[in-house]
Every structure is written in structure tokens, then in C-alpha cells.
Structure 1
Amino acid sequence: MNAPSMRLFFALRCPTGLAERIAEWRDGQRLSGRPVVAANLHLTLAFLGQQPSTRLGELRGLAAALQATAFELRLDRLVHRRNGLLYLAPSEPPAALLDLAGQLHLALRTAGFTLEERSFLAHLTLMRRCSARPPPTCPTFDWSVGHFALLASETSQRGGLYQQLEQWPLLPIR
């Protein structure tokens, strides 16, 4: 009998207050498309796709072993792709963010997990299927990142819902 599987990813969950401010700004732009609900705003570190639930312990151990430092993240760039994806990104991704994603990707590949081949792109998706032209500038959103999490994506009648399975602290900034 096969173990049940889950759609998993590691991410930085956007803090509630910041997520609400970002969603409020986005909604005020009156763009057409499919907005990401505030509770789901996150920055994906590594997407794992469908994984057997029997591997959760391995993923938890792998994440707990990482030695990455907390950092300040500044989302100051609004990007609209031709495929309708609208997202916020840092003009200069912090070295600690790139280090965290790099450590995580290496540990996952070493453990035999298959990851997408494309390079890591630090971004927070605001909307899908955005057909309208967004404003040329956006406010700056600052975020003190002190932990990362393992999330499961579940589909419901209301759309996707992300359930946090566990989170791990990052080392204090020196």
C-alpha cells in the first residue's frame, strides 16, 4: 500500500501584518487577475511537489540541521511577467537569503529530493493571470526574517490553502 502524499515546499511565510498591508496596497491598484490571499503570501525557498508523508521526518531533520542567519528583506521591486504573474522582489537579495536557499537546495538534493533546475528567484507572488499593466512603482515593504517553514499546499473549494507543518529559527544577526 502506498503512503499518502502531500504537496510540500519550504518558504518564508509573510508575517500577518505585513501580508495585510501588501494585500491592501495590491487591491487598491484595481488590477484584474487572480490575487493571492493575504494568508498565503510567502517567498518559496524550495518547492518539493508531491512527496510521501513518510518523508516528513527526513525533511524536518534536514531543515533543523541548517545553520543560516536571520536577515532583513526589502521587497522594493514590482515585476509583471508576460504570463500574467505579478510579484514583489528585492532589488538586492540579501546574502543570508541566498545562503539559506543554497543550503536548503544542497541538503535536499543530497537527500535525493528532485528540485526544479531553474535558479532560485526570490519573489513574493501577488497575483496570477494579471492582465492589466501594474503601476510603474511600488512602496517598499521591509521584513525581518527570523525563521523558515515547511508548508503543505491543500486544495479546497475556496482555492489553495497553505498549512504550516513546522518552522525553524534562523541564527541571530551578529
Structure 2
Amino acid sequence: MAYDDIAYNPANPYPGEVFNRPFGPNVYPGVVIDYKGDDVTPSNVIAVLTGNSSAVKGGNGRVVESTVEDNIFVYFADHGATGIIAIIDDELTAKQLNDALRTMHARKRYHQTVLYIEACESGSMFDGLLRDNINGTTFSFFIFRMHLLHMLILSHSHFIQLPSRTHLCL
């Protein structure tokens, strides 16, 4: 699932090509995207994760068909705020995500799940909610007044409260 707005964006000087480092190879050929553009929605994210093919709209209908023997890795990068992550022009709430993870656990849809979320305040997506063999790793960059604070957050849900009431996973 990807919005897929880079390769053929009018601002891309190399139409149809995507590079992830200077002078690197074109990484776009062969990329298969099951859901892109307007098919990237919070409801499709939930349906795909929980294996609910009848609930997906658009895309190719593919969902996670896993068992208790499988490990699942999810990487998400976009914007966020306390208790939400942005999905194009919509948002997925912490409650929606965690309800989906609980559903997956109840249906024995994984052995372990790891979610990497790269979005502002992404640690708040798991505040007091992680359990059942789910590990959340969040990445976020914050600017506080005159100090640039780069935080690479690599842990399993240890939260601190800052004066701005921002949740960080350290």
C-alpha cells in the first residue's frame, strides 16, 4: 500500500523513476502496489491488516492472510499528531489501530507483529495500549524553540511526558 505520488509527479525531473539516494539506482521498476492513490484509506488499512477482504474498496483485494505461525512487519511513514496518523487526506486513530491489532490477536493472525511508524507524535499511537506480542517502534523529529532535537526512537513503548504534552516513545 502506497500513495504512489512520486514516480509520475510533475515535479519529478525523471518521470517514472524513483531514487532513494544520490546517484543510486532507480528503485521503482518491479514495485507491486496493491492499494495506491485514492485506495489508500484508513478503512482499507484496517481491512488489509485484519484479513477482511470483503471490506476493502479498490485495489486488488489482497489482504494479510496470516496464521499464528506468521510474523508481521508494518512500516508507515507520513504525518501524525497525538493519537492519530495521517493517511493521505484522512486519519487513522490510535483506537482504530489498536482495535485492529486486538482483532488480529483474537483471531490468531500472527505470532509476533512489529510496527515501525515514522510520524510526529507516533509514540502516542501505543500509549498504554501495546500487548499480545506486538512491538511498536516509532520515529519522529521534533523542533523545540531554538533547539533542534533529533530523536531516533528505538524501543518498546517507554513513554515520557514533556511540557508540551507530546508523547515520545524512547
Please identify the structure whose Cα radius of gyration is greater. Answer: 2
Answer whether TM exceeds 0.5 for this pair.
no
**TM superposition score normalised by structure 2:** 0.28
Larger fraction in helix: 1
Name the TM-score, length of structure 1 as normaliser.
0.27
